[in-house]
Amino acid sequence: MRRWTRLIAAPLLALLAACSGGTENAPPANDKLLLAALQARLAGLSGGEPVPDAREILSPALVARSSTPLLLVVVEAADAGLTMVPRAVNRGTQQWRDISGGGLFRRDGILVGTRGFGFDLHTADVAPLAAALRRGGGEDVERINRYIDGQNQIVAVQYLCSVRPMGRERLNLYGTVVDATVYRENCIGEGPPFANTYWVDSGGTVRRSNELISPRAGSLDLSVLKL
Amino acid sequence: MRATRTILAGLATAGLLAPMVHAQEIEPRRSVSSYGVPGLIDMPSAQMQPDGELVTSLYLLSNGAGRVQLSFQILPRVQGVFRYATLPDFQRVGNDFIRTYDRSFDVRFQLFKESGWVPDVTVGLQDFGGTSLYSGEYLVASKTFGPKVTGTVGIGWGRFGTQGSFTNPLAVLDDRFRDRPRFDVNSTGGDFSTDSWFRGDAALFAGVEYRPNARWTLKAEYSSDAYVQEEARGIFEHDSPLNFGVEYNPSPGIRLGGYLLGGTEIGFNIQLALNPKRPPAGGSGLEGAPLPVAIRPARETQPNLWSEAWVGVPQVEQPVVAGLDAVLAEAGLELISYRLTGDRVDIRFRNPRYSSQAQAIGRAARAMAATLPPSVETLVLTPENTRSLGSAAVILRRSDIEALENRPNGAAETLAVAGIVDSQTLPTDGRRYVDDAYPRLRWNVGPYIAYALFDPDNPLRADVGLSATAEWEPVRGLILGGEVRQKLIGNRDESNRQSNSVLPRVRTNGPEFLKTDDPYIPYLTAAYFFRPGRNLYARGSAGLLEEQFGGVSAELLWKPVASRLAIGVEASVVRQREFDGLFGFQDLDAETAFVSAYYDHGARFYSQLDVGQYLAGDRGATYTLTREFSNGWQVGAFATKTNVSAEEFGEGSFDKGFFLRIPTDWLLGRPTRETSAVVIRPVQRDGGARLNLRDRLYPLVRDQSPPVLTEQWGRFWR
């Protein structure tokens, strides 16, 4: 009996409690978007047949109507698109969530963690990279990615990354046109080499990026649809 | 010999799903021989598997012989193998030859690892118990030539010294090496037969393995095994010492092989490999992101919110506790009790979901940060187990949680500032239990599978049926629990081994318990669990303690938080139950008592030494060595020596076996505390037998305190 009442009551109470605790809660984006996120995420995890994903449902009008910032996340390995909304900010790190509870962390517009993708990026130390992007690239920086290995141990993988401007490109993000400088981050180090790409607008905001989660999980393509 | 869950299914699934590896980190998986060790066809190579690798191989020969082998890479240079083999028309009974089943263990040590011109060199003892048909020793060297070719040469004794054999070169050292004791199919075996190792004639073998690509492997060998015993019984025609094989690798961790042996027979091999270090879904798991840490408003800007005036005001306390309870429940945790003060809150909670206690503590800390008034700075968290026993309490500063949430090295930094104490030392004044913490009822009705693996006459017996379990905790720590089972179908009752034991038959009439077709009661107990004091844990149980015995049992465990050593005492007075598995008892009493020492060696090796009196009244000691992976995988072996002689003991000479425990979350990637376990004993006899007690204290409380708690700390922020 108790179990059932708790099951029903928990989400309601939790919502209230979380609000009262002072977490910076984002109002839920409209249901259609979140449903698309869920479908895409399920498709991505099961590797099953493609279902309509966020990219097919999103439209300039839909994005414009959104009352909250929106992130389009494309899981490259599964070719699945899903949307995320901001959930909290703590000391400069933004947490984004999709409807099914998966999420990612961004700091200075750079991916510093993923949750629920399997073979997740646990944390990333990208302070030197953020500084290099602010200075317009053209330098080598250190990056430390941390992963939880199969034995619940945190493994720090150190990289040396060259950050280079690659020219300019015009992005069309569902109706918003952004002129961006493209930066390529080429990393070599203790793990397999990889390359990330960042599209940075004139205000220094990363509007689009292609960033590695882990060698097994592959990369995410992130677009900030609404700031 | 019995397992309660579907470990084989698990092994198969894991083999299927086993991930690819970062090639530069881990040495490659090796193709195994027909004996389950890295090698060619019948001949071993000197190579080792990656550390921790567990390979199950099933080898079938066209003459009806077969072997199942389980090999484990215990250490980077030490490998152990368990083998269950069957041969047709082999054992003589009167004038007939009947199929025989045989169990054996191998161990291999790598003396040199390949480096430059130095090859891998390994010495192996196959069936070191020494009585089986397969016993043989070898010294072998292997060398790779580029990524595609591996060459192997070796010298073998015993089974491996029968083709093209010559006088043992070791006879130069001592004449005793000249002769090997005769193979005896009827011997009891089980002891280390050091008197036959490396004895008798020797022979040379060689072979080459060629891997044209990642999928295919070709093998050819000159075998030093002439299949002498099989030829003598007419079940193998050995025309040639040359064997050939081809193997295909359809997906990582799976390998299929076909072989031509002795010029006459065809062999097939299926190899499934998995490694505790490589969970199919990765180490991070698939569960969603945790609740973000809620940040308190700054004290300077909103000092009124930081007031402690809420303490003792039910209108505030009640919603705070209700909110905490609900947010914990959302994280899968159950609040049991709390103690509120203005700047510090202690909670005790159950963790039915996460296999890592550190992850549960991390999620509970975030629930506290989300719901407690800003004045609360000190968070004290005690996870309790299903028996309402708490062990370590973790003390955290809320401002640390807020500051470290997103730090790149946040887990280590949080551990560095966390206080870990025995929860027994915490203040109890003002501790309140949530309304529905007790009494507590849990029940379950579902199917069960119980199986017996590798028994002396049949490799697999299983029963499937319905099981109902219930557990009621009317007051904290007192647990009344039981189970009823009804078998639906199965063949465990077909074992008609007659006990020939000369000891009190405390275990050898075990098959009789499996013959009931009516509902039976595996256990029905009243048990009380409590903490008598700091560092101490206690249990008292009475009732139908296990399937075969009922009585009373008590245990006391001393385990300081953060100590590598723990010591327990346990005493039980029991009587054997009726074979029908109901409430009756037979006329066989036993008193059994032990002192146990548990030691964590570090590097995730654990020892356990139990000294005392066993069920049959024999006295002695059991040593258990376990390798545990911090994801919860356990692989271990045990041996018991008591004052019962090998003759009195019977087949196997002394009690021994090994076990595997696989956490379900490792397999699925979803959080759960379920595990699958299997214990394999070559033979169950009456000597060195212990009770199968539920809820022994050490395994119950071990993961709630360091070192295990802190080994998994990487999941705190997960």
Contacts 24+ apart (CB under 8 A), B260-264: B261/B41, B261/B42, B261/B61, B262/B227, B262/B236, B262/B237, B262/B238, B263/B238, B263/B239, B264/B236, B264/B237, B264/B238, B264/B239
Overall average pLDDT of the B308-312 stretch: 93
The verdict on a CB contact (< 8 Å) between B714 and A18 is no
pLDDT of the residue at A5? 33
And the tokens for B271? 């190899």
pLDDT of the residue at A143? 97
Q: Is the C-alpha dihedral spanning B538, B540, B546, B552 positive or negative?
A: positive
pLDDT of the residue at A51? 52
Beta-carbon-side half-sphere exposure of residue B223 (alpha carbons within 13 Å): 27
Distance from CA of B66 to the nearest CA of A (A): 34
Mean pLDDT of all residues belonging to chain A: 81
And the tokens for B440? 């507590």
Q: Is the C-alpha dihedral spanning A178, A184, A185, A187 positive or negative?
A: positive
Tell me B547's DSSP state. Answer: S
The verdict on a CB contact (< 8 Å) between A119 and B287 is no
Torsions phi, psi for B46 (to 5 deg): -95, 5
- Whether residue A16 has pLDDT greater than 50: no
Among chain A residues, CA nearest to B401: A90
* Between residues B497 and B200, the one the model is more confident about: B200
Report the residue from B289, B402, B718 with minimal CB separation from A102: B289
> Which of A25-34, B203-212, B441-450, B611-620 has the weakest average pLDDT?
A25-34
Tens of pLDDT, residue by residue over B3-56, are 433 333 333 333 333 333 333 345 788 999 999 999 999 999 999 999 999 999
Distance CA A77, CA B517 (A): 53
CB burial string B25-64: b at 16+ within 10 A, e below: eeeebbbbbbbbbbbbbbbbbbbbbbbbbbbbbebbbebe
A217 CB neighbours in chain B (<8 A) are 282
How far, CA to CA in Å, does B186 sit from each of A122, B93, B132, B366, B652? 58, 11, 9, 64, 12
Q: Give ∠ CA B19-B23-B29 in degrees, rounded to 5.
A: 65
Q: Does A120 touch chain B (CB under 8 A)?
A: yes
pLDDT of the residue at B28? 85
- Whether residue B418 has pLDDT greater than 90: yes
And the tokens for A216? 């097994």
**Residue B7: CB atoms within 10 Å:** 18
Q: Does B456 touch chain A (CB under 8 A)?
A: no
pLDDT of the residue at B131? 62
Distance CA B686, CA B195 (A): 27
Enumerate the β-bridge partners of residue A179.
A170
B436 CB neighbours in chain A (<8 A) are 2
Enumerate the β-bridge partners of residue B244.
B220, B260
How far, CA to CA in Å, does B503 sit from each of B105, B227, B579, B640, B648? 26, 39, 19, 16, 7
The verdict on a CB contact (< 8 Å) between A13 and B322 is yes
- Whether residue B484 has pLDDT greater than 90: yes
Overall average pLDDT of the B688-698 stretch: 95
The set of residues, in sequence order, having a beta carbon less than 8 Å from that of A177 and lying 6+ positions away, is A170, A171
Letter for the amino acid at B436?
Answer: D
The verdict on a CB contact (< 8 Å) between A148 and B283 is yes
> Which of B109-113, B149-153, B181-185, B289-293 has the weakest average pLDDT?
B181-185
In a domain, A148, yes or no: yes
Tens of pLDDT, residue by residue over B218-248, are 999 999 999 998 998 889 999 999 999 999 9
- Whether residue B653 has pLDDT greater than 50: yes
Distance CA B350, CA B327 (A): 14
Residues B471/B483, Cβ–Cβ less than 8 Å: no
The verdict on a CB contact (< 8 Å) between B277 and A88 is no
pLDDT of the residue at A115? 94
Percentage of chain B exceeding pLDDT 90: 72
pLDDT of the residue at B184? 63
Residues B454/B680, Cβ–Cβ less than 8 Å: yes
Q: Which of A98, A147, A148 to mutate to test the interface with B (most CBs of B within 10 A)?
A: A148
Tens of pLDDT, residue by residue over B78-125, are 999 999 999 888 887 888 888 888 888 999 999 999 999 999 999 999
The verdict on a CB contact (< 8 Å) between B712 and A217 is no
Name the 3-class secondary structure at B164: coil
pLDDT of the residue at B13? 35
Q: Characterize the bridge pairing of strands A139-148 and B675-680.
A: unpaired
Mean pLDDT of all residues belonging to chain B: 90
Distance CA B168, CA B203 (A): 8
> Which of B272-281, B433-442, B636-645 has the weakest average pLDDT?
B272-281
- Whether residue B701 has pLDDT greater than 90: yes
A120 CB neighbours in chain B (<8 A) are 282, 284
**Residue B590: CB atoms within 10 Å:** 20
Confidence tier at B208 by pLDDT (50, 70, 90): very high
pLDDT of the residue at A15? 32
In a domain, A70, yes or no: yes
Enumerate the β-bridge partners of residue B660.
B635, B678
Give whichever of A147-151, B389-393, B601-605 has the largest mean pLDDT. Answer: B389-393
The set of residues, in sequence order, having a beta carbon less than 8 Å from that of B374 and lying 6+ positions away, is B296, B297, B299, B305, B306
pLDDT of the residue at B617? 96
Tell me B177's DSSP state. Answer: G
The verdict on a CB contact (< 8 Å) between A23 and B402 is no
Distance CA B429, CA B422 (A): 17
And the tokens for A93? 């790190």
In the β-sheet with B378-384, what is the strand arrangement from edge to edge? Answer: B419-422, B392-397, B378-384, B344-350, B334-340, B432-433
pLDDT of the residue at A3? 36
In a domain, A15, yes or no: no
* Between residues B384 and A54, the one the model is more confident about: B384
Confidence tier at B189 by pLDDT (50, 70, 90): low
**Residue A173: CB atoms within 10 Å:** 20
In a domain, A76, yes or no: yes
The verdict on a CB contact (< 8 Å) between B717 and A122 is yes
Distance CA B363, CA B234 (A): 66
- Whether residue B283 has pLDDT greater than 60: yes
DSSP string, A61-92: HHHHH-SS-EEEEEETTTTEEEEEEEEEEETT
Confidence tier at B593 by pLDDT (50, 70, 90): very high
pLDDT of the residue at B168? 92
- Whether residue B174 has pLDDT greater than 70: yes
Domain with A65, as residue range(s), is: 27-226
Among chain A residues, CA nearest to B356: A152
Among chain A residues, CA nearest to B410: A123
Q: Which of B20, B325, B406 to mutate to test the interface with A (most CBs of A within 10 A)?
A: B406
In a domain, A50, yes or no: yes
The verdict on a CB contact (< 8 Å) between A152 and B290 is no
Helix (H) or strand (E) holding B605: strand B605-613
Letter for the amino acid at A97?
Answer: R
Distance CA B398, CA B379 (A): 6
- In 3D, which of B669, B18, B714, B662 has the Cα closest to residue B288? B669
| Contacts with A, B 626-645, CB within 8 Å | 629-631
Residue A172's CATH number: 2.40.360.10
Q: Does B297 touch chain A (CB under 8 A)?
A: yes
Overall average pLDDT of the B436-464 stretch: 85
Q: Characterize the bridge pairing of strands B378-384 and B344-350.
A: parallel
| Contacts with A, B 481-510, CB within 8 Å | none
Residues B666/B635, Cβ–Cβ less than 8 Å: no
- In 3D, which of B336, B332, B328, B301 has the Cα closest to residue B435? B336
Overall average pLDDT of the B367-383 stretch: 97
Name the 3-class secondary structure at A36: helix
- Whether residue B327 has pLDDT greater than 80: yes
pLDDT of the residue at B129? 75
Distance from CA of B355 to the nearest CA of A (A): 10
pLDDT of the residue at B415? 97
B24 CB neighbours in chain A (<8 A) are 192
In a domain, A22, yes or no: no
| Contacts with B, A 47-76, CB within 8 Å | none
- Whether residue A11 has pLDDT greater than 90: no
Tell me B155's DSSP state. Answer: E
Residues B695/B529, Cβ–Cβ less than 8 Å: yes
3-state class percentages of chain A: helix first, strand second, coil last, to nearest 5:
25, 45, 30
Distance CA B123, CA B144 (A): 18
And the tokens for B162? 């029968």
Tens of pLDDT, residue by residue over B55-70, are 999 999 999 999 999 9
pLDDT of the residue at B83? 92
Domain count, chain A: 1
Q: Does B715 touch chain A (CB under 8 A)?
A: yes
Name the 3-class secondary structure at A221: strand
3-state class percentages of chain B: helix first, strand second, coil last, to nearest 5:
15, 45, 40
Structural domains present in chain B: 20-274 (2.40.160.40), 303-437 (3.30.300), 449-473+477-702 (2.40.160)
pLDDT of the residue at B603? 83
Distance CA B325, CA B346 (A): 13
Report the residue from A125, A152, A214 with minimal CB separation from B356: A152
B276 CB neighbours in chain A (<8 A) are 150-151
- Whether residue B261 has pLDDT greater than 80: yes
Report chain A's terminal Cα–Cα distance, integer Å: 45
Distance CA A123, CA B617 (A): 57
The verdict on a CB contact (< 8 Å) between B630 and A152 is yes
| Contacts with B, A 1-20, CB within 8 Å | 2, 6, 9-11, 13-14, 16-18, 20
pLDDT of the residue at B286? 86
Helix (H) or strand (E) holding B572: strand B565-577
Distance from CA of B326 to the nearest CA of A (A): 5
